[in-house]
Homo-oligomer: A and B are copies of this chain.
Amino acid sequence: MKELKHDPHAVEQEEWKKRQWKERGKQLLTIASPVFILLLWEVVSRTGIVDARFFPPPTEIVGTFVSMSASGELFHHIGISLVRIFAGFLLGVIPAIVIGLFMGLYSPIRHFFSPLIMALMPIPTLALLPIILIIFGVGEVSKIVTIAGSVFFPVVINTVAGVVNIDRIYLDVATNYGADSKNFFFKIALPGALPVMLEGIQMGQAIALLTIVAAEMMGANSGIGYLIWTSYKAFLLPEMFVGLVLISFFGYLFSLLLRGLQSKLLPWR
């Protein structure tokens, strides 16, 4: 029964490799689950369990995707939207982090801003479009601002939560060792809030994608969002689904990238 293995290093290395494999297995799961959903969709669509007129099977969407790509126009749409998404994302995330840190650290600031945030957050983007139009016109800026506006909220809320949840002892240590406010910010509040903040950024990333349709509903001539709503309006559902699947795909891709970034940024966990 007892089979002695003589090199614990080898065993533990083996164990580690197994864990790495398991990790890879989980990553496989991460890849498998969308594939699984697509397969399921294909089946229920083909067998008529769902109405194929409204949910064309993925293979048909792929076909549409291929024929759309052929013209190269699709990549133009993707490129333009990605630029808008990145710009809007950054424009939303950076102030959200800064304001969130201040709010987390100074309770009067928190008490002043949080009702505003809570009151502004539920305002539908759709209703903000005319306001944004008036202030920023129909150009690129208005689209970027629209995205930034909706990215801002989840990031600021999670940043505040992150800061407020930092264990008091670390704040005491920083105070006792005479951290000035800059160091307090960058050495304690920022890294301490980071885990929860990153979840907010993860959400913000999804919301940037979510908002691209609304942003490109005003005065756009291209972009994935434009593609989606014009296809939808024209009842070209396979084309619309190409747009939606692209959005999903980027949501998935960006979240993987952010997860990667996360383990880089949080080596101490």
Q: Contact residues of A with B, CB < 8 Å?
A: 26-27, 29-34, 37, 51, 54-55, 107-108, 111-116, 118-127, 130-131, 134, 153-154, 157-158, 160-161, 165, 195-196, 199, 202-203, 206-211, 213-214, 225, 228-229, 232, 240, 244, 247-252, 254-256
The A contact surface, by secondary structure, is helix
Docked-complex contact B228 and A127, CB < 8 angstroms: yes
Using A54-B134, A213-B124 as known contacts, say yes or no to A119 and B34 having CB atoms under 8 A apart: yes
Docked-complex contact A195 and B165, CB < 8 angstroms: yes
- Give CA–CA (A124, B226) in the complex, Å: 12
Question: Would you give the shortest CB distance from A77 to chain B, in whole angstroms?
Answer: 16
Docked-complex contact A255 and B115, CB < 8 angstroms: yes
Docked-complex contact B213 and A108, CB < 8 angstroms: no
Docked-complex contact A121 and B210, CB < 8 angstroms: yes
B-side contacts of A229, CB under 8 Å: 126
- Give CA–CA (A225, B34) in the complex, Å: 33
Docked-complex contact B29 and A123, CB < 8 angstroms: no
Residue in B29, B37, B119, B196 whose CB lies within 8 Å of A165: B196
Assembly of this chain: how many copies? Answer: 2
Docked-complex contact A244 and B123, CB < 8 angstroms: yes
> A210: nearest residue on chain B (CB-CB)?
B122
Can you give 29 contacting A-B residue pairs, CB < 8 Å? Answer: A27-B111, A29-B112, A30-B112, A30-B115, A31-B115, A32-B112, A54-B130, A118-B251, A118-B254, A119-B248, A120-B251, A121-B203, A121-B251, A122-B206, A122-B209, A122-B250, A123-B247, A124-B210, A124-B213, A124-B214, A126-B213, A126-B214, A127-B240, A130-B232, A153-B206, A154-B154, A157-B202, A161-B195, A165-B196
> A116: nearest residue on chain B (CB-CB)?
B33
Residue in B29, B121, B196, B213 whose CB lies within 8 Å of A111: B29
Docked-complex contact B123 and A210, CB < 8 angstroms: yes
Using A195-B165, A213-B124 as known contacts, say yes or no to A55 and B131 having CB atoms under 8 A apart: yes
